[in-house]
Amino acid sequence: MELVHTLLFLLRETSMEEDLKRARQCLKSLEKSASQTVVVFNQGIWSNTALDAYLSDFDLDCTIIGEGVNRGIVIGRQRCFTYIWTHMPQAEWITELHMDMLFTYRWEAPLVDYLRDHDEPMVSCGIVDKAGALSYLDLEVPVLPDDLEAAAAYLLTLRRNQVTNGLNHPCVHRADILQAVGGYDTAFLRNQQEFEDDSLMLGYHYYYGTRRNWRPKVCFRSVVFHEVAGQRLNLKTWSGPNNFDGLVKQYGAMGLKQLIPIHATQWHETFFSQRFQEQQKAD
């Protein structure tokens, strides 16, 4: 299985101890993956040399790119994608990981199996958060054990043969289709984060054509831990720097209309309905 993980590695001076603890747990658990190949984008604050020395402690095959500067999610992810397309053309599958995740044994294998059996460009795994919530299933389960081995075993017990509409990270992309739609378009998505996933979902939607009415899927045959999931749903406002204007420039008001049924939550349906109506009035 030619699968490559992508990970944005960020340390902050104000929370260095906490960030390092989270990073060690994430990377140690990632050793249990079916693939140990990782492209790491260094967002700071270490040099690439210092980061390389740190990553050598883990049983992972890491390639470091970036300059130790926090350039945001869009540029970081896209740089990882471009590196893989250029230097690892044998890669069939590409993941998107975060440092506040914990993984279990061969967690990505059921997702790849799902993609092999279905005509889909990507699929997400199920996630349980720090409060014990299983996103998209409206279920609450006991919180994750602190011990990494116990946590890995516990995550296996949360698996179920269920697929639903929705989008989580981590996810697995088909590398060829991700490249065909271009990944995250930094010409439009110029701020550090927010709405880049919506841009990519529209890219996939139009790749398959509106007649297919493609929607992202969550496959609960694999479940991992994501400390804080669904962060956008917890936002009280969205007035800060984000990529919404870039999303509208890229796909227009009709793109906002298409996002209403693409997402599987009431929050997204309400949000994009309101933004579509605002665009209609502005035009």
**Domain chopping of the chain, boundaries:** 3-282
Question: What is the reported pLDDT for 41?
Answer: 98
Q: At what angle do helices 196-208 and 244-262 cross, to 10 degrees?
A: 60
Question: What is the reported pLDDT for 236?
Answer: 46
Question: What is the reported pLDDT for 229?
Answer: 66
Question: What is the pTM (predicted TM-score) of this model?
Answer: 0.93
Alpha-carbon gap, residue 273 to 232, rounded angstroms: 16
Q: 194-216 b/e with 16+ CB inside 10 Å = b?
A: bbbbbbbbbbbbeeeeeeeebbb
179 with 107: CB under 8 angstroms?
no
Q: Which residues pair with 127 in a beta bridge?
A: 224
Ranges assigned E (strand) in 45-156: 61-65, 93-96, 101-102, 122-128, 133-134, 139-140
247 with 189: CB under 8 angstroms?
yes
CATH of domain 3-282: 3.90.550.10
The DSSP bridge pattern shows strands 93-96 and 101-102 to be unpaired
Question: What is the reported pLDDT for 235?
Answer: 47
Q: Which residues of the chain have pLDDT under 70?
A: 1, 229-241, 283
- Give ∠ CA 223-184-197 in degrees, rounded to 5: 45
